[in-house]
Amino acid sequence: MKPDIRDRADIQQLVDTFYTKVRADETIGYLFNDVAKVNWEAHLPRMYDFWENILFQTGGFKGNPMAAHVQLHQKSPLTAAHFQHWLKLFLSTVDELFEGDKAELIKQRAQSIATMMQIKVHPSNDPRSIM
């Protein structure tokens, strides 16, 4: 049985494993590496803070991820397929490393975040618009 996500060290393991996959990914890696030109030394600690806050309500994250993604979309259009692929990588990474209530919660939150980012960044991708 895999452990559940318990603390910041587990968040760091998840984030590091996930972004190692992202950087090498043929579908979305270029968005991080070539378009956004992410400074990983600065970005990863912010992602630790972000996900730790999402899962444990630490209040340790300061920033506006929505604005960052809108700016990225202006440089290189983000599609529904990009968001779905990001989500697939994230969920599979969680499943690879963890199981339990917190693991399920972080997957639910990731789904919500991906959906909201897609809606806010590219309103024509809003699944509600076809209803």
User: What is the pLDDT confidence band of residue 123, given thresholds at 50, 70 and 90?
Assistant: low
Q: Give 34-82 pLDDT, tens digit per residue.
A: 999 999 999 999 999 999 999 999 988 888 888 888 888 888 888 889 9
Q: Residue 89: inside a domain, yes or no?
A: yes
Distance of alpha carbon 127 from alpha carbon 121, whole angstroms: 13
Q: Residue 2: inside a domain, yes or no?
A: no
Identify the domain containing residue 13 by its residue range: 8-123
Work out how many domains the chain is built from and give that number: 1
Q: Residue 128: inside a domain, yes or no?
A: no
- Residues whose CB falls within 8 Å of the CB of residue 49, separated by 6 or more in sequence, listed in order: 58, 60, 61, 62
CATH number for the domain spanning 20: value is 1.10.490.10
Q: Residue 103: inside a domain, yes or no?
A: yes
DSSP 3-state percent helix, strand, coil across the chain (nearest 5): 75, 0, 25
Q: Which long-range contacts (CB under 8 A, 24 or more apart) does 65-68 make?
A: 65/117, 66/116, 66/117, 66/120, 66/121
